[in-house]
Amino acid sequence: MKGSSEIPLATRHLGAGLAALALVLTAACSGSENADATGGGEAEPATAMITPEDGSDEVKPNLPVKVESEDGTITDVAVQQSGGEAPKDPDDMSGSLNKDENVWVSDWNLYPGSDVEVTATVQNEDGEESEVVSEFSTQPATDGQRLELMSNFPTSDETVGVGMPVIINFDQAVENKKQVENSIEVTSEEGIEGAYNWFGDEMAVFRPKEYWEPNQEITVDIRLAGVEASDGVFGTENSQINFEVGREQISTVDDKEHTMVVERDGEEIKEFPISNGDASKHIYTTTSGTHLTMEKYQHLVMDSSTVGIPVDSPEGYKLDVNYAVRTSGSGEFTHSAPWNGQLGESNESHGCTNMAPKDAKWFYEESLMGDPFIVTGTDRELEVDNGWGFYQRSWEEWLEHSETGKADKTDGNGTVGSAHGEPDE
């Protein structure tokens, strides 16, 4: 459920339960004066168990809240959090109810250092409802032991290309990557399959199996609060990213033919003469593969020292260029090159895709971050971690590198596993 008054019947994968304190519900119940001749009477009030148990202190915030009833059905669970890292008005805690409607488990973790009140409503066979309450507090997050979001791409309110991944950068290393993955839910209007890969211990990347469907809204719920990134390191807050996928624009560069073709929504709209890297050295060879446009500059100074070649060396350079669109992390851009008289004829650059000024201006103005930019025909392959070369891994390889090994579906029904710090069943 997204709010505590609604409990979905879908069952999520849950870890092993904790020891629980049985609390007998004390709603009024007495024998009926109108009992039938067989001696039957009203049913006893339903009972329930809540974990963590009432009065617990210093509970790890990544342990699940669990409600179980052996003799009734669960009709409502409300989890209230205050103090500590909890915001003034925290979101309602959603949870998952099993098929028999007698076990409820929270979907997400609790805020560190907070006071928690869990109120469960259960119903006996006569439809009589009773409540049970458990109050406890969670372990705080200490200085230097707080996982926080460093940056993310895209940011809210951006419009991006159909290849755009969701890139999350954390402020410190993450050891429990599976827990963190399962705490981030990506939801799209057009549901697809996607999965995470990690590049180092501080960057998680969510990539669709194929490109996003164009013209739709994407929501990313980053529920870091209470997640245990590593031993004793807890996330402290939740956040959300909302962005839009725009039209589908895919550009393909043929290195041997010295052309770039741009397709929009499946139709060719432009063809440009270009000039790629001259390949006199490996570093001067334009990389082949599926790139994504990353950023763009109306004016940019290109300095060979940024790729390890001193400006004052025989092969050094420092150029002022216009209408530059980055396509890799190793210094490749499309840009205006009015000095290059071999556009459409031969490759003369240091690795960038040179274009005529009017063509470069058009491409600059019409590009969105995350547009696929595909280069064919060179003997230098784009590395998966060179810029945003994430589509260089096949979908099968991408899943193999995922911590969960499973595809997430972006249909709003949760993540593929538990966000809690407990062994998988």
The enclosing domain of 45 has a CATH number of: 2.60.40.3780
Tell me, yes or no, whether 259 and 329 share the same domain.
Answer: yes
Tell me, yes or no, whether 124 and 157 share the same domain.
Answer: no
In a domain, residue 293? The reply is yes
Q: Are 167 and 205 in contact (CB under 8 A)?
A: yes
User: Of 81, 115, 137, which marks where a domain is finished?
Assistant: 137
pLDDT class for 8, splitting at 50, 70, 90?
very low
Tell me, yes or no, whether 346 and 401 share the same domain.
Answer: no
Does position 16 have pLDDT exceeding 70, yes or no? no
Domain extent, residue 56, equals: 21-137
pLDDT score of 149:
96
In a domain, residue 128? The reply is yes
Mean pLDDT of 21-50: 55
Query: For 30-40, what is each residue's pLDDT tens digit?
Result: 333 444 444 45
Tell me which of 325 and 7 has the higher pLDDT: 325
pLDDT score of 311:
79
CA proximity to 140, closest of 185, 187, 96, 83: 83
SS (H, E, C) the chain: CCCCCCCCCCCCCCCCCCCCEEECCCCCCCCCCCCCCCCCCCCCCCCEEEECCCCCCCECCCCCCEEECCCCEEEEEEEEEECCCCCCCCCCCCEEECCCCCEEEECCCCCCCCEEEEEEEEECCCCCEEEEEEEEEECCCCCCCEECEEEEECCCCCEECCCCCEEEEECCCCCCHHHHHCCEEEEECCCCEEEEEECCCCEEEEEECCCCCCCEEEEEEEECECCEEECCEEECCEEEEEEEECCCEEEEEECCCCEEEEEECCEEEEEEECECECCCCHHHCCCEEEEECCCEEEEEEEEHHHHCCCCCCCCCCEEEEEEEEECCCCCCEEEECCCCCCCCCCCCECCCEEECHHHHHHHHHHCCCCCEEEEECCCCECCCCCCCCHHHCCHHHHHHCCCCCCCEECCCCCCCCCCCCCCCC
pLDDT score of 316:
77
- How much is the pTM? 0.86
User: Of 105, 137, 169, which marks where a domain is finished?
Assistant: 137
CA proximity to 324, closest of 301, 297, 351, 306: 297
Tell me, yes or no, whether 188 and 204 share the same domain.
Answer: yes
pLDDT score of 10:
34
Does position 131 have pLDDT exceeding 50, yes or no? yes
Query: For 193-220, what is each residue's pLDDT tens digit?
Result: 999 999 999 999 999 999 999 999 999 9
Q: What's the number of domains the chain is made of?
A: 3
Mean pLDDT of 341-351: 97
Phi, psi of 306 (to 5 degrees): -70, -15
First to last CA, the chain: 23
Tell me, yes or no, whether 88 and 150 share the same domain.
Answer: no
pLDDT score of 40:
55
Does position 235 have pLDDT exceeding 90, yes or no? yes
pLDDT score of 38:
43
In a domain, residue 421? The reply is no
CATH number where 208 lies:
2.60.40.3710
Tell me, yes or no, whether 377 and 298 share the same domain.
Answer: yes
Tell me, yes or no, whether 130 and 156 share the same domain.
Answer: no
In a domain, residue 16? The reply is no
Does position 103 have pLDDT exceeding 90, yes or no? yes
In a 13 Å sphere around the CA of 296, the CA atoms on its Cβ side amount to 23
The string over 169-208, giving b where at least 16 C-beta atoms fall within 10 Å of a residue's C-beta and e elsewhere, is ebeeebebbbbbbbbbbbbbbeebebbbbbeeeebbbbbb
In a domain, residue 15? The reply is no
Phi, psi of 409 (to 5 degrees): -105, 135
CATH number where 368 lies:
2.40.440.10
In a domain, residue 354? The reply is yes
Tell me, yes or no, whether 372 and 270 share the same domain.
Answer: yes
Tell me, yes or no, whether 365 and 403 share the same domain.
Answer: no
pLDDT score of 347:
98
Does position 22 have pLDDT exceeding 60, yes or no? no
Tell me, yes or no, whether 237 and 366 share the same domain.
Answer: no
Does position 397 have pLDDT exceeding 50, yes or no? yes
pLDDT score of 318:
82
Number of C-beta neighbours around residue 377 at 10 A:
14
pLDDT score of 319:
86
pLDDT score of 254:
98
Percent of the chain with pLDDT over 70: 89
Query: For 144-202, what is each residue's pLDDT tens digit?
Result: 999 999 999 999 999 999 999 999 999 999 999 999 999 999 999 999 999 999 999 99
Tell me, yes or no, whether 131 and 165 share the same domain.
Answer: no
CA–CA dist 275, 300 (Å, integer): 19
Mean pLDDT of 274-300: 96
pLDDT score of 14:
31
Query: For 245-263, what is each residue's pLDDT tens digit?
Result: 999 999 999 999 999 999 9
pLDDT class for 96, splitting at 50, 70, 90?
very high
Tell me, yes or no, whether 384 and 264 share the same domain.
Answer: yes
Does position 2 have pLDDT exceeding 70, yes or no? no
In a domain, residue 125? The reply is yes
In a domain, residue 422? The reply is no
User: Of 137, 155, 180, which marks where a domain is finished?
Assistant: 137
pLDDT score of 12:
35
Active-site amino acid positions: 335, 352
Q: Tokens for 232?
A: 């004793």
For the chain, give the mean pLDDT: 90
| C-alpha dihedral sign at 167, 90, 136, 93 | negative
Does position 27 have pLDDT exceeding 80, yes or no? no
pLDDT score of 41:
66
